[in-house]
Each structure stands twice: as C-alpha cells, then as structure tokens.
Amino acid sequence: MFVTDLPDTKSAHLSPEHSETVRATLPLVGENIETITRVFYSKMFAAHPELLSDLFNRGNQKQGAQQKALAASVATFAAQLVDPDAPDPVMMLDRIAHKHVSLGITPDQYQIVHDNLMAAIVDVLGDAVTPEVAEAWDKVYWLMADVLIKHEAKLYASDNVTPSEVFRTATVTEKKRLSEDVTAYTLTGDFSVPRPGQYTSVGVKLPDGARQLRQYSIIGGDANHYRIAVLTEGEVSTFLRDNIEVGDTMDATLAAGDLVLHEGDNSVVLVSSGIGSTPMVSILGHLAAEEPSRKVTYIHADVSEESWAQREESRELIASIADATMGVSFRDAGQRVNIAEYDLAGADVYLCGGVTFLQALRADIEALPVDKSPKGVYFELFSPNDWLVG
C-alpha cells in the first residue's frame, strides 16, 4: 500500500477562539501528557481488553513507548495548528498512517480512542478542563483524526482493499538462520508487490491466546512471496524462532511503509545499524536488478562482523552494482560511522536504526556544508519513538 501524496495537514485549521484556548493550555497539556496517555490506555484497555491482546504491541505498552508516541503526535499536531513557525508534522503523520493500514485500523476505532482520551484529560487536569478547553482539544483530536483517516483511505485504495482485507494467510516456505540472533523467513501467499523498503505486519497467536502483531521489513518479494529477517528480541520474534517451521501458517499483511526508494537519477546513500539493514537490503536488491547503473553508497554499523546478519547478501548486491561503494564499522573495534567521509552531495539518503544512532546521524548530516548536503533524508525507526528524529 503506497501513494505519493502526503497527508493533507494544511487543510486543518482551528477557529480563532479554539486556537487561543489551545495555545493557552498547550503548556499544561504538555506537562501532563504522559500521565494523560497512561490514564487513557488504562481506561481504553479496561473497556476494550481485546485491543491490548490482539492489536497493540504489549511490549511497547509495558515500556511506555506507545504512550509516549501518542503524546508526541497529539502535542506536535496541536503545536502546528497554533504556531505557524512550528514544524509541519506531515512526515510523522505519514508514518503513523502507514503503520495503521498495516494493522487494518478502521475509522470507527478513532472514536474509541477519542472517548477514552478525552476522559483521561478530564481525569488528570480536573477543573482546568472547562467546557471551552474540552471543546478546543476535542477539535484538535478530530482534525488530526480526519487527516489520518483520509490518508489511510487512500492507502487502502492503492491496493484496492478494505481494512479487513489487508491480512492474508501466509505459509512459511523457507526458514534460515542468518546469525545467532537473526532468522530469515520466506512467506508465501496472495500479496501485493512491495516497494523497496516496505514492511509487512506478521500476526501470531501466542500460548496465552493473545494475537500479537509486529512489523518486519521485506528484504525482497513479489505478489506471492515476502522474505523477512527477524531479530529475536521479544515475545513474537522468540515465538517465531522456537515454534514456526516450514509449512506453518501465520497472518501477514499487504506491504506498507513510507521508507521507499524514490524514483529518479539522484545518487543513493543507505545508512543502517544492526537489524536496520533489512530495508536497505531490499533497496539494494531493487537497485541491483532494476537500476544497476545508479550510484550507490551503503554504510552499515554493527557490533561485530559476526553479528552483521546480512553481510553476505549485502556484499554480493554491492558487487553487482557498477558504481557502488560500501563502508562498514564495528563497535567492538571502537569504530563509528563518520558521515563526512562519504559523498552525500545531492543524494537521496535513507537511514534505519535505533534512536541514538539516527539522532547522531541527523546531527552530522545537518552539520555538512551546503555544497556537500544531500537532496533528501528519509528514515525508518524500529520503535514508536520516531518524533525524536523526525
């Protein structure tokens, strides 16, 4: 599922009265937003326990990551509505919309979120939530929801599916250990052709009966096969490693994700850390097969040579591209990525890794002289914390 359009944030406007109220209360809401969202999730899961067991990532909930993600998105959107100098959250909303369609989110579920979020705001802020304040923040929520719902409708329509049709039954036709902690799976089913860099949501039923979903980048695939690489680090990935074998089935969604290779002649610079290599290998595979004359630089950071799960495939792909270079750094050797050593001038740069890694890279890229700066920088983060680098 993919469209070239971005979410239409520019059509979202508050009335002067609502703007004044939101501007005046934004600091108070911001100070309490994490408490508000903790109360919100507690209320919502008490009323709808199936959402925690069958839809939301339980691991992120335990760590508080998902709460912080919601807090950041609502506050960022509200700030943009009342401050013309605030950054446009369009890319953040695009990532949220792609994540939603990969989970089959429906418009009616926004009402569930609204009702419990507004109740949580009242619980936490008490008398500060006058009818005027409640009305203004209600408007903020529905403006943001409207932007997302409309964009998600376009994404579903791009593959001519409804939310209930994004999940397909996938059969595991290959399972291969790539490293001590990473396993590759080939899934066969009735899919759509993925764009280089996209992901699929995999769903499994765990021993306690919960159906948990996780997103995994598609290393390569077509309309009938998705190949994914899974780092064993949580309950779903551990279940896959220990229980899923060739011939078994699982749920997998049609491809989604906004980190895709842009068309054109710009040179391509791919930078990854650890399992962040997965979308980069997908992009490399496409370039090797379809655009082998395009200039490509691949920069990868890992703990060690042994922990780099996709080293063989990456090197083979780089070798098959005429104008391609690779740089590798290993933390156990005291090495780090020095982005200034590479030619980024006018390039499309794609980043994937952890928060600290991406924050450092973004700072290094922004510090480059104008004549050495890339044309565009795009990223994927394997956690809900993308506002930290977006």
What is residue 183's three-state secondary structure?
strand
Token pair belonging to 103:
């989970």
What is residue 281's three-state secondary structure?
helix
- Residue 68 CB-density burial (10 A; 0-12 exposed, 13-18 middle, 19+ buried): buried
Q: Which residues are catalytic?
A: 110, 152
Give the integer Cα–Cα distance in Å for 123 and 71.
16
Asked if 295 and 325 count as a contact pair (C-beta separation under 8 A), the reply is: no
Give Cα 96 distance to the centre of its chain: 7
Give Cα 61 distance to the centre of its chain: 16
What order of strands is seen across the sheet that includes strand 268-273?
324-330, 296-302, 268-273, 348-353, 376-381
Give the integer Cα–Cα distance in Å for 380 and 390.
10
What is residue 383's three-state secondary structure?
coil
Token pair belonging to 257:
């994700």
User: Phi/psi class of residue 290: alpha, beta or left (left: φ > 0; alpha: ψ in -120 to 50)?
Assistant: alpha
Q: Judging by DSSP bridges, how do beta strands 182-188 and 225-231 pair with one another?
A: antiparallel
Q: Judging by DSSP bridges, how do beta strands 199-205 and 376-381 pair with one another?
A: unpaired
Query: To which H or E segment does residue 286 belong?
Result: helix 277-290
Helices (H), 102-181: 109-125, 131-158
Give the other-Cβ count within 10 Å of 353's Cβ.
26
Helix axes 90-101, 131-158, angle to 10 degrees: 60
